Structure 1
Amino acid sequence: MPVFLKKLLFWGFVAFLIYFMAFRPDGAAQMFKGIGAALMAIFQGLGDFMTGLMT
């Protein structure tokens, strides 16, 4: 993928996030809470897996 296209997509995504947070703050907060919860579940599962290997 050309560098210009990557930069364009990245800045477009950043602009969308800013727009989303400015005009739909409740929806943005819920989205970030969901992402955080999913990451916590992934790392908790990984920790449980590693603990299971060690015992």
Structure 2
Amino acid sequence: MPVFVKKVLLWGGVAFLFYFMAFRPDGAAQMFKAIGAGLMAMFQGLGDFMTSLMT
């Protein structure tokens, strides 16, 4: 992918994120909570896997 396209997509995503947080703060908060919960579940699963390997 050309560098210009990557920059446009990156800045478009950042702009959308700011727009979403400015005009839909409740929805943005719920989205970030869901992303955080998903990441925590993934790391918890990884930790459980590593613990089961060690025992």
Pick the TM interval, shorter chain: over 0.9
Matched residue, 1:43: 43
C-alpha separation between the residues in 1 aligned to 2:4 and 2:51? Answer: 45
Query: How many residues in Structure 1 have an aligned counterpart in Structure 2?
Result: 55
C-alpha separation between the residues in 1 aligned to 2:44 and 2:17? Answer: 28
Aligned residue type for 2:40:
M
Query: Aligned to 1:8, what secondary structure does the other structure show?
Result: helix
Matched residue, 1:18: 18
CA RMSD of aligned residues (A): 0.2
Question: Gapped runs of 5+ residues in structure 2?
Answer: none
The two structures have a TM-score, normalised by structure 1, of 0.99
Question: Gapped runs of 5+ residues in structure 1?
Answer: none
Question: Cα distance, 1:45 vs. partner?
Answer: 0.3
Give % identity. 84
The two structures have a TM-score, normalised by structure 2, of 0.99
Is residue 2:10 matched to residue 1:4?
Answer: no
